[in-house]
Amino acid sequence: MNRELTHPRAGAGFSLHLVLATRGRDYSFEEIAGWLADAGFDAPRHHDPPSPLFSSSLVIAARP
């Protein structure tokens, strides 16, 4: 999800479903990168899968 949690649209819709059904939500790359840094991981990277683009993506980080 982007910083405003509005894009991609499918992810925003899924996040709304999570809030209503489980009190959960989707998270932005910045939020996840912060958690990884707090846990001792370096240089988190955001990776979008090849087309077709769905609402999923990868966050990759390494621990020194």
Query: How many domains are there within the chain?
Result: 1
pLDDT, tens digit, for every residue of 42-63? 989 988 777 665 667 789 999 8
- Confidence (pTM): 0.66
pLDDT of residue 24: 78
Q: Assess if residue 50 is contained within a domain.
A: yes
Domain-embedded: residue 2: no
Quick check: helix, strand or coil at residue 42?
A: strand
Q: 61 — phi, psi (to 5°)?
A: -145, 160
The pLDDT of residue 38 is 95
* Domain hosting residue 50, numbered range: 9-62
